[in-house]
Amino acid sequence: MRILLIEDERELAAALSVALGKHGIVIDHTMRLEDAVELTCQNVYDAILLDRRLPDGEGLTFIPQLRRTGSDTPIIVLTARNEPMERVEGLDLGADDSLGKPFLVEELMARLRAVLRRPATVAELQIIVGRMVIDPLHLSVTVEATPLNLSRRELLVLAALARRKDKTVLRSTLEAAVYNYEEEIQSNALDAHISRLRKRLVEAGAGVAIHNIRGVGYLLREE
Amino acid sequence: MRILLIEDERELAAALSVALGKHGIVIDHTMRLEDAVELTCQNVYDAILLDRRLPDGEGLTFIPQLRRTGSDTPIIVLTARNEPMERVEGLDLGADDSLGKPFLVEELMARLRAVLRRPATVAELQIIVGRMVIDPLHLSVTVEATPLNLSRRELLVLAALARRKDKTVLRSTLEAAVYNYEEEIQSNALDAHISRLRKRLVEAGAGVAIHNIRGVGYLLREE
DNA sequence: CTCCGACAATTGCAGCAGCATTACCCGATC
DNA sequence: GATCGGGTAATGCTGCTGCAATTGTCGGAG
């Protein structure tokens, strides 16, 4: 197992090198982002440990850089102190996990194991369909970079359809995506949402159309 | 997006339900492990939030239980206080992430997003025959990636035949596949469906043919 | 080979289930 | 109290689907 450590504190790097070495992990260490990019081109790493504060810039900028090369190597971001929001930023940029310093080597190992056993991360940060970009995790939609104002339920319907673009989505699946058990519906509420959603998509020129499959469900296609 | 929350603190559960609800997440909540197992059998969740201390036992026991059913639904363990070793135990039992209480909803959301970014689970089982791909779960058929518009009954007939490709399917078997007990038919409705189905299959160039076995039933073959 | 009966294929038609749309109103939120 | 989201219900419409009449096909008996 080979890991890339991007970290400017020499002592921490040395300590990790020893500690992880005992677990049979080989560490390549660099202190500079610039070198990190090159190293990832030349080697295949099983995971990357990334510090945020680095001499030549903010560590997080490395994440999109790496992802753009098509790599899906797991990244664990190391953040200073126990700052939740720092961790949030890393995760939302495409990191797979985030850990505040100081940390137990035990926990780092456990997080490494967790991250390594999951199938390669294919970032579904956005769904692009027609002229729209849907971010289902942040519940936002833009058409040609201008935000589209949808209500929460409309957005849930849209996201559920867009995830299965060009494929049928069962009516029951849509209902489950929008409603939980407590909020059972007894009317055509879903139909109403579809209708309103269609209207807005047309107004916005979203470049998609929602088709109905009678007796089955719905389907979203580009037009 | 649908999530199962296994947690015995009512207040936390209620708060999360509201907070995540605003992010468009539907929460099913239970306080007992026993119920959790049943719920996961009946529903497909995008993720599971699991508390460790539960009235009917240690939450972590749920993880192997779930995994044994073949499910790979992401699990995030919520641990009491900020105890690194508690988090380690959860991760090593197969959880995907672990978060100490108390936590910011923001961080939980970010970790959810990170965990959900993984490729869509469950390889859908499909029937491939001729140039067609039939997805009986979603009631859809595609010919060379372009969706084929069949009515519900036509689709049921097709799926029943395709499942037993190259083998005769009794007329009575087909009827059972398309109609339930309440809806008995007294005419050649089935024949009519076969006829219309054949027409559509030819039009679409599906690469299959439905043959009749006189007095017995039908049979689907590639051509 | 021919004829005949039984079974199968096809198609128009009518009824109706399911869908689309709109207006309305309640409740939550600010 | 103004505004927005969203559930409900009424209305009109579409096209699926069961039915039946007609035509076509198979296979055995003579």
In terms of domains, do B40 and B132 share one? no
The bridge status of strand A132-135 relative to strand A75-79 is unpaired
Q: Rounded to 5 degrees, what are φ and ψ at A149?
A: -90, 100
CATH of the domain at B147: 1.10.10.10
Using pLDDT thresholds of 50, 70 and 90, give the confidence band for residue B136: confident
Residues 161-180 of A with CB under 7 A from strand C: 171
Vertex A183: Cα angle to A148 and A214 (nearest 5):
65
The proportion of chain B whose per-residue pLDDT surpasses 90, expressed as a percent, equals: 26
| pLDDT of B179 above 50 | yes
- Decide if B189 is inside a domain: yes
Q: Do B116 and A125 touch (CB under 8 A)?
A: no
Q: Rounded to 5 degrees, what are φ and ψ at A132?
A: -100, 150
In terms of domains, do B150 and B102 share one? no
Burial A22-41 (b: 16+ CB within 10 A, else e): eeebebbbbbebeebeebbe
Q: Do B111 and A91 touch (CB under 8 A)?
A: yes
Last residue of a domain, one of B72, B88, B116: B116
Highest-confidence range of A22-31, A116-125, A137-146, by mean pLDDT?
A: A22-31
pLDDT for A41-90, tens place per residue? 878 888 999 999 899 889 999 998 888 787 888 999 999 877 788 888 88
pLDDT for B51-99, tens place per residue? 998 998 899 999 988 887 777 889 999 998 777 888 888 888 889 999 9
pLDDT for B140-176, tens place per residue? 899 988 888 898 889 989 988 998 888 898 888 888 8
| pLDDT of B182 | 63
Q: Using the CB atom, is residue A214 less than 7 Å from strand D?
A: yes
Counting other chains too, the contacts that A177-183 makes at CB distance below 8 Å and 24 or more residues apart are: A177/B1, A177/B2, A177/B26, A178/A153, A178/B26, A179/B26, A180/B2, A180/B26, A180/B27, A180/B28, A181/B28
In terms of domains, do B10 and B108 share one? yes
| pLDDT of A184 | 67
Q: Rounded to 5 degrees, what are φ and ψ at A134?
A: -110, 130
In terms of domains, do A101 and A193 share one? no
More confident residue, B40 or A120: B40
| pLDDT of B119 | 55
Q: Do A124 and B139 touch (CB under 8 A)?
A: no
In terms of domains, do A14 and A93 share one? yes
CATH of the domain at A95: 3.40.50.2300
Last residue of a domain, one of B56, B88, B116: B116
- Decide if A121 is inside a domain: no
| pLDDT of B123 | 40
* Domain extent at residue A45: 2-116
The number of domains in chain B is: 2
Which chain B residue lies closest to A116 (C-alpha atoms)?
B96
- Decide if A82 is inside a domain: yes
| pLDDT of A134 above 60 | yes
Nearest CB among B26, B82, B106 relative to A88 is that of: B106
Interatomic distance A202 CA / D17 C1' (Å): 32
Last residue of a domain, one of B89, B116, B143: B116
Task: Give B148's strand partners.
Answer: B141
Contacts of B55 (CB under 8 A, 6+ apart): B8, B31, B32
Question: For residue B135, which of A10, A157, A166, A192 has the smallest C-alpha distance?
Answer: A166
Using pLDDT thresholds of 50, 70 and 90, give the confidence band for residue B3: confident
